[in-house]
């Protein structure tokens, strides 16, 4: 089980391919607030709901100075299908080796349908312009999470 991050920790840097295979690096977004969220699998009901909530809130998040990145273990080709199917308008990044998921504490043991399993822990982080974790939220709900995050951010 990877260690969990807390507010004030340095956000682990990463470079991951997006749905088109282009590298996206967190360090290239220094100077901006970045919402990094981890989700288990593209094209599943909960992950679709969460991605669509971020998509529908993107204009107001960007107007408040926030960029959004979604990360899952899916390959870029699946992310491209997800983006096209659901009109996702922010980068979806591929972490098939789960190295970034583990660096953020977003992969490990969790309870699913009453059973202990190992997998992606639905998590959201807000990284400040200096690269520090401002908010770290683990085991978030797919539905209603973006609205709660917006309240937490005062938006």
Active centre residues (catalytic): 47
Residues 93, 71: contact at Cβ < 8 Å? Answer: yes
Spatial distance between the Cα atoms of 139 and 110, rounded to a whole number of angstroms: 9
- Report the C-alpha dihedral over residues 69, 74, 78, 82, rounded to 10 degrees: -40
Tell me if 39 sits within 8 A of 140, measured CB to CB: no
């Amino acid at each position: 089980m990877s260690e969990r991050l807390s507010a004030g920790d340095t956000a682990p840097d990463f470079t991951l391919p997006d749905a088109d295979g282009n590298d996206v690096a967190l360090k290239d977004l220094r100077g901006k607030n970045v919402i990094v969220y981890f989700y288990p699998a593209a094209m599943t009901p909960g992950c679709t709901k969460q991605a669509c909530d971020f998509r529908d809130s993107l204009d107001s998040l960007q107007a408040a100075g926030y960029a959004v990145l979604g990360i899952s273990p899916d390959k870029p080709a699946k992310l491209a299908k997800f983006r096209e199917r659901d009109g996702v308008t922010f980068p979806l990044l591929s972490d098939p080796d789960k190295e970034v998921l583990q660096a953020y504490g977003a992969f490990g043991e969790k309870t699913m349908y009453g059973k202990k399993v190992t997998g992606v822990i639905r998590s959201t982080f807000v990284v400040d312009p200096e690269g520090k974790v401002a908010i770290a939220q683990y085991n978030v709900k797919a539905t209603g999470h973006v609205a709660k995050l917006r309240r937490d951010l005062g938006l």
